[in-house]
A and B are shown apart, each in its own frame.
Chain A
């Protein structure tokens, strides 16, 4: 699997086209401030999408990833209310996210349950626990450090006021590079693709398939925790419904990035490009005063077009009885 192939080129071209189109029609889009601002639009969801992409490549899915965010944010808020310092709060969020992921992984690998059902169940469970604990309340009054993490720039961090790329973007970039190297340039990455392409063959060639699955779920939980810390810092409060529906955005980004929903194929470069593309697109539409729900509609249509187009072009002749619609659940 090449990390940079035809689909990634298409995404890059689309991104260039989009930036050019918005840049020429929208006054102020090309300002450094706006571009920096737009990156917060994809940094948090991008983290979820990276973890989701790895899971989908391995043939699994985690629909509870956004609910895990809510619970991690709650864990952080509860820690603060009990007088914890910044480090303990972060550890609480990460521990909570990791535990949520581990429960998913345990149910999937140890009990052999399909991940889509398990994570629909844990989605309700995690979101429900957040609702039971918080009710209609919210947790606010987070320390300044956390707000800096969500809203601050790298310039604030190193003391160079001119450098306005947000810290969130830095976190996303570091994780993205790490995941891309892991997936495309290490033995572990090769095993990941092997697992997704044919889990039985992978198991017979000595890959600890279930151990990979388990740790990927834990990784997804941890990424959800990191995204939750950034989101909570950015908006300054914890509510039971934060990030609701983000699991679908994460899946959309992964699919648009060229990850095959059937597993075994995909590129992290494509996922990152798709995250930036979608984030920039919705940011531009936001500047055009397009309602959020209409953006969601356009993204939904894009998702389908992204899948239909290559097949419609390449498969006009190949649409035979063999492809009589083989939908994988």
Chain B
């Protein structure tokens, strides 16, 4: 009974391991620790973004502005670092968290105060934040020599063989897992994603929980922005443009339902690792990098089909009055 709940995650983990071994058999260089650590580094930023997006998806919302938030916060940090060389790492991290959280809170305010649909609000703020980067930077790039040494240094530091990037992602993942599993607020996110009306009647403060989800999503996007700018030593307007779709893709592959109420940290992490392994394997397997997007698309489609089948088999729709019609052929 217990392991069946993890069937999806186990299957995905098996696919990832099989994929790693298959690529490794063709090109042994893929299995070296250096390469695998590289893949982990690459996946860390995505993992942080995915956790934030997952909070929002669980509430049955969506946050399309994460990539724009990442880029704007990254630019703000880069400009602040350039203007104030005295800043240290904790101050920069605090700045990134605060800036990201503020941008996320704007989404949350628009959604809760005016009852607007999340997809449209975050579509709008996505463009607005992207434009704000241009306004803040006057369209100029902040390049390697102008990036604050603390921003560049942090992702490159190593503890116990893993980079600070990986440790940050692990910290976020563990905190998110604890929050969603054992904290009242975390459980309430599932409740209101599963059934909004019922959640209202049992007394969950809906507005505050929606605000929490969007603010957390923004905060983590901000953190990812600082790490991104540090890792690649550059900040510009089009940074991480279109990355929000990759984030949502990783969530969907990891079994976080776009219909709310379903999903967990382990699944989301596996979704991230799957994309990381596929992207890392393509150059090793001598496949043109142009295949990346097509493969990602095919994988998203296959995993939603798989998810839909799994949900049907589990029979969770039995008491849903919508079920007979949603499934009926027209």
Q: How far apart are the CA atoms of A296 and B237 in the complex, in Å?
A: 12
Q: How far apart are the CA atoms of A162 and B251 in the complex, in Å?
A: 56
B291 to chain A, nearest CB (A): 6
Interface residues of B in 276-330 (CB under 8 A from A): 288, 290-298, 300-301, 304-305, 308, 321-322, 325-330
A200 touches B322 (CB 8 A): yes
Question: B132 at the A/B interface (Cβ < 8 Å)?
Answer: yes
Contact check: which of A121, A125, A299, A308 meets B116 at CB < 8 Å?
A308
User: Given contacts A293-B130, A300-B125, A304-B124, is CB(A326)–CB(B110) below 8 Å?
Assistant: no
B330 touches A291 (CB 8 A): no
A107 touches B301 (CB 8 A): yes
List the A side residues contacting B114 at CB < 8 Å. 307-308, 311-312, 315
Q: How far apart are the CA atoms of A111 and B303 in the complex, in Å?
A: 13
Contact check: which of A128, A200, A255, A308 meets B293 at CB < 8 Å?
A128
A-B pairs under 8 A by CB, number: 201
User: Given contacts A128-B294, A210-B330, is CB(A299)–CB(B127) below 8 Å?
Assistant: yes
Residue in chain A with minimal CB distance to B110: A304
Contact check: which of B131, B200, B260, B292 meets A324 at CB < 8 Å?
B200
Contact count band on A: 35 or more
A158 to chain B, nearest CB (A): 40
Residue in chain B with minimal CB distance to A296: B127
Residues 102-120 of A, flagged 1 when their CB comes within 8 A of B and 0 if not, give 0000010111111011101
B115 touches A132 (CB 8 A): no
List the B side residues contacting A317 at CB < 8 Å. none
A1 to chain B, nearest CB (A): 19
Interface of B is mostly: helix
List the A side residues contacting B118 at CB < 8 Å. 327-329
A121 touches B128 (CB 8 A): no
Q: How far apart are the CA atoms of A210 and B327 in the complex, in Å?
A: 10
Q: How far apart are the CA atoms of A307 and B330 in the complex, in Å?
A: 34
Question: A267 at the A/B interface (Cβ < 8 Å)?
Answer: no
List the B side residues contacting A160 at CB < 8 Å. none
List the A side residues contacting B112 at CB < 8 Å. 324-325
Q: Which residues on B are within 8 Å of A, measured CB to CB? A: 57, 59-62, 110-121, 123-128, 130-132, 134-135, 139, 196, 200, 206-207, 210, 237, 245, 248-249, 252, 258-260, 288, 290-298, 300-301, 304-305, 308, 321-322, 325-330
Can you list 9 A-B pairs with a CB-CB distance of less than 8 A? A117-B248, A121-B301, A131-B290, A203-B330, A211-B330, A303-B127, A304-B128, A307-B116, A311-B114
Known: A124-B294, A252-B124, A329-B260. 13 other contacts (CB 8 A): A114-B259, A124-B296, A128-B291, A129-B294, A209-B330, A248-B126, A291-B134, A293-B134, A301-B124, A321-B200, A325-B207, A325-B210, A329-B61
